[in-house]
A and B are shown apart, each in its own frame.
Chain A
Amino acid sequence: EEQLVESGGGLVQPGGSLRLSCSASGFNFNSCEMHWVRQAPGKGLEWVSSIGGGAYTVYYADSVKGRFTISRDNAKDSLYLQMDSLRAEDTAVYFCARVPPWLGGVDALDLWGQGTEVTVSP
């Protein structure tokens, strides 16, 4: 079964750091572009960051650029999001999601994890 499982969320003070992980199973992880998407409480979806299969291309939303770092370890089928200088407005559920290579460059997110909750509060 194809699956993504996030971990690493929790409560952190403003200015603190947190590292999220996303463990993939059941598919060829290194063939897939991977994304992080977040959802603040009661709000809509916000794209955060993406990384290519070979980790050569990375992109960030302006709201996290310079504070968050996306990475992956294909040997461990894992995706990461290092979050530094956290702010209250980073409070959200963070989802990892996959772009499969067979959608012809459309970049739709066809497999999502269950999400991990991050709360930034004093």
Chain B
Amino acid sequence: DIQMTQSPFSLSASVGDRVTITCRASQTLSKYLNWYQQKPGKAPKLLLYAASSLQSGVPSRFSGSGSGTDFSLTINSLQPEDFATYYCQQTYSSPPTFGHGTKVEIK
């Protein structure tokens, strides 16, 4: 199985900050990497797919980059509603695997 390693495990940031979360795969994924946001007690929400394609309805302050084994999610100008846990997911090979999550907390 492909292992997904996210960093950091958690971070504290302020409204207006720029935040970057990274995701490293144990083998190449091409661009088969997706990002999700999850708030407590809620289902995950798809933010980006294919590494950098913004899902419909997701604010443009979210962006993704990377290919191969190294990927990143960037949130420009963090908003109050962005405090949540973020997961990467590879769909290059079965089983599709998730990273362990990165919790973004209010500083």
| A101-122 at interface with B (beta carbon < 8 Å) | 103-104, 106-110, 112-115
Task: Contact check, A104 vs B50: say whether CB atoms are below 8 A apart.
Answer: yes
Mark B residues whose CB is within 8 Å of A.
31-32, 34, 36, 38, 42-46, 49-50, 55, 87, 89, 91, 94-101
In angstroms, Cα B93 to Cα A50, docked, is 13
The segment from A8-16, A41-49, A69-77, A79-87 found at the interface with B is A41-49
Task: Contact check, A112 vs B87: say whether CB atoms are below 8 A apart.
Answer: no
Residue of A nearest to B48 (CB): A108
Q: Report if A106-B32 is in contact (Cβ < 8 Å); known contacts: A47-B96, A59-B95.
A: yes
Residue of B nearest to A59 (CB): B94
Q: Report if A103-B43 is in contact (Cβ < 8 Å); known contacts: A45-B98, A59-B94, A110-B55.
A: no
Residue of B nearest to A95 (CB): B43
In angstroms, Cα B97 to Cα A46, docked, is 7
**Chain B residues with CB below 8 A from A107, complex form:** 32, 91, 96
**Chain A residues with CB below 8 A from B55, complex form:** 108, 110
**Chain A residues with CB below 8 A from B36, complex form:** 45, 109
Count of inter-chain pairs, beta carbons less than 8 A: 62
A88 proximal to B (CB < 8 A): no
**Chain A residues with CB below 8 A from B97, complex form:** 47
B8 to chain A, nearest CB (A): 15
Task: Contact check, A112 vs B91: say whether CB atoms are below 8 A apart.
Answer: no
Task: Contact check, A47 vs B95: say whether CB atoms are below 8 A apart.
Answer: yes
Task: Contact check, B98 vs A109: say whether CB atoms are below 8 A apart.
Answer: no
Give the number of chain A interface residues (Cβ < 8 Å): 23
In angstroms, Cα B46 to Cα A88, docked, is 29
Interface centre among B94, B97, B101 (most CB of A within 10 A): B94
Task: Contact check, B98 vs A46: say whether CB atoms are below 8 A apart.
Answer: yes
In angstroms, Cα B31 to Cα A45, docked, is 20
Q: Would you list the 10 A-B pairs with minimal beta carbon distance, nearest first?
A: A108-B49, A107-B91, A112-B43, A108-B34, A45-B98, A44-B101, A110-B46, A106-B50, A47-B96, A44-B100
In angstroms, Cα B98 to Cα A44, docked, is 8
Task: Contact check, B91 vs A106: say whether CB atoms are below 8 A apart.
Answer: yes
**Chain A residues with CB below 8 A from B45, complex form:** 112
